[in-house]
Structure 1
Amino acid sequence: MKAWKRWPAALAAGAATALAVGGGNGVVVGLVVAGGCFVMLGRAEPAHVRRERATARSDLPFAADLLAAALRAGAPPDRAALAVGEALGGPVGERLVRAGRALRLGASPEKAWGQLADLPGGERFARAATRSAEHGLALTRTLDRQASDLRVARAAAAGASVRRVGVLAILPVAMCFVPAFVLVGIVPLLAAFVRGVFTAL
């Protein structure tokens, strides 16, 4: 997220915290919260990048199956990549089209298939396709194996996402109850303790 978009949210969080805590301590805590929010929002992945990664994760196994089928039908790797890429579209399709064009222009397999390396699972896919091309292994068998591996990885990623959602769902509740617990339970005890110490003196 760009800096000018982050500042309003960070300042609003800081101001709300400062008002809740109150006094000079509130200002200090509010500034810390505003700074923390600004940094955290800067590290957050943009929505369009997150959508592209999710689409690529689901499309890549399907693309590997289609490529293997096209190669079995007798299409050369460059034509198979172009045909599958144009049919599939999206982030995987775009990169397959680039890979097919690169192969057609005589680029090395490593450079051509490397077009997919920035996608989730794409680096392993590109490495396997390059190795098959360089060592003369059957690319169709490699693609079948990659499709299976990518499906397993996608299922694992989906399970991890579900578990992460469960953890993240607890955070808002904790953010509401922890300050309330401190204010209602701990602050009166500390105040009574301090009052008792001063009374004893």
Structure 2
Amino acid sequence: MHTTEWTTASAGGALTALLGGAVRALRARCVLRGRARAVGMPVHRPRRGGRRGSWSFGRPGGRLRLPPGFGRYGAGLLLGTGVAVSFHGLRALLAGVLVAAACCRWLPERPTAEERRAQAESAALRAQLPLTADLLAGCLASWCAPATAAEAVAGAVAEPMATRLAEAAADLRMGGDAEESWARFGSDPALAPLGRCLARACASGAPPAAGLARLAEGSRASAAAAAQQRARRAGVLATAPLGLCFLPAFVLIGVVPVVTGLAGTFLVHT
């Protein structure tokens, strides 16, 4: 068997195995759904956790779960197979193996459910930071105790900031050191500026209202700048596919005929 035929057969076998595994997984899911409905077991989509489109059979642990790294290794296998099939010879096979290995090594892994939840919570805390700082500044400027101010603001803001403030207020009510309590409150990177501001005010005895107001203003300015940067980046990313579509057409229609005509004229004269 020639090298080209062996490469094509190997790539086809790998692709067939991958598609066969996906078909078997989908068939098993359909069989489980049919059995669950036959016995009257509830079949529903989970509201929290799990992947979009996954199904649960009577209990949260009954969802179809892919092994870790399935997407990365599957993409590497598909890309390596495409490179090996697109060209011929042993070099194409080696290039396909290298491409597959590089994809498996350097492609980013899909974040887990816990990582996505932590990212969403951190983003929510950053969004709530300016309002929380303004409310704390107003409460502390009216000579409220730190624990009372934290409890009042915790009742006025939404989660997850309300839980963090309630924990800090409970710690202060139990007689904990104010500086240490606010330092623990600011252990989250999203709340670190607010925790440092309050801990510094407790250590120095200075009124924290002015610092909190400056923190709220700076947080709003940073959020506005980040939103503008995302908008500019979205515009650049939107024009990139158009450039990739029009550039080959421009080269084929505008550049290639000119070069071909000049080359033909040069060859005729020589």
Same fold judged by TM-score > 0.5? Answer: yes
8 Å CA contact retained: 1:86, 1:94: no
Label 1:166 to 1:52 Cα distance change in 2 as closer, same or farther (>3 A): farther
Report the residue type matching 1:113 in the other structure: W
- Give the number of the structure with larger relative contact order, counting CA–CA contacts within 8 Å between residues 6 or more apart: 1
Indicate the residue corresponding to 2:169 in structure 1: 100
Q: Distance in 1 between matches of 2:239 and 2:111?
A: 21
**Deviation (angstroms), 1:74:** 3.5
Q: How many residues align?
A: 172
8 Å CA contact retained: 2:168, 2:182: yes
Q: Structure 1 vs Structure 2: percent identity of aligned residues?
A: 30
Unaligned ranges ≥5, structure 1: 181-201
Q: Distance in 2 between matches of 1:102 and 1:123?
A: 18
Indicate the residue corresponding to 2:158 in structure 1: 89
Q: Distance in 2 between matches of 1:109 and 1:160?
A: 38
Indicate the residue corresponding to 2:82 in structure 1: 20
Unaligned ranges ≥5, structure 2: 1-65, 85-91, 249-270
Indicate the residue corresponding to 2:125 in structure 1: 56
Label 1:98 to 1:169 Cα distance change in 2 as closer, same or farther (>3 A): farther
Q: Distance in 2 between matches of 1:74 and 1:94?
A: 23
Q: Distance in 2 between matches of 1:55 and 1:146?
A: 17
DSSP-derived class of the 2:160 partner: helix
Q: Distance in 1 between matches of 2:236 and 2:214?
A: 34
Q: TM-score, normalised by structure 2?
A: 0.55
Label 1:109 to 1:72 Cα distance change in 2 as closer, same or farther (>3 A): same
Comparing 8-17 with 104-113, greater Cα deviation is found at 104-113
Q: Distance in 1 between matches of 2:188 and 2:233?
A: 23
The alignment's C-alpha RMSD in Å is 3.0
**Deviation (angstroms), 1:5:** 4.9
Query: Which structure is higher in helix share?
Result: 1
Q: Which whole-Å deviations, capped at 9, do the CAs of 1:126-185 have from their partners, x for residues lacking one?
A: 1111111221111222221221121122222323333444555577x49x88xx9xxxxx
Q: Distance in 1 between matches of 2:99 and 2:129?
A: 46
**Deviation (angstroms), 1:81:** 0.5
Q: Distance in 2 between matches of 1:43 and 1:166?
A: 26
Of the two, which has the highest radius of gyration? 2
DSSP-derived class of the 1:41 partner: coil
Q: Distance in 1 between matches of 2:205 and 2:199?
A: 10
**Deviation (angstroms), 1:21:** 0.4
Report the residue type matching 2:157 in the other structure: L
Q: Which whole-Å deviations, capped at 9, do the CAs of 1:46-102 have from their partners, x for residues lacking one?
A: 332232122111111101111122223332111110221233131222211111111
DSSP-derived class of the 1:30 partner: helix
Q: Distance in 2 between matches of 1:159 and 1:18?
A: 39
Residue 146 in 1 paired to residue 211 in 2? Answer: no
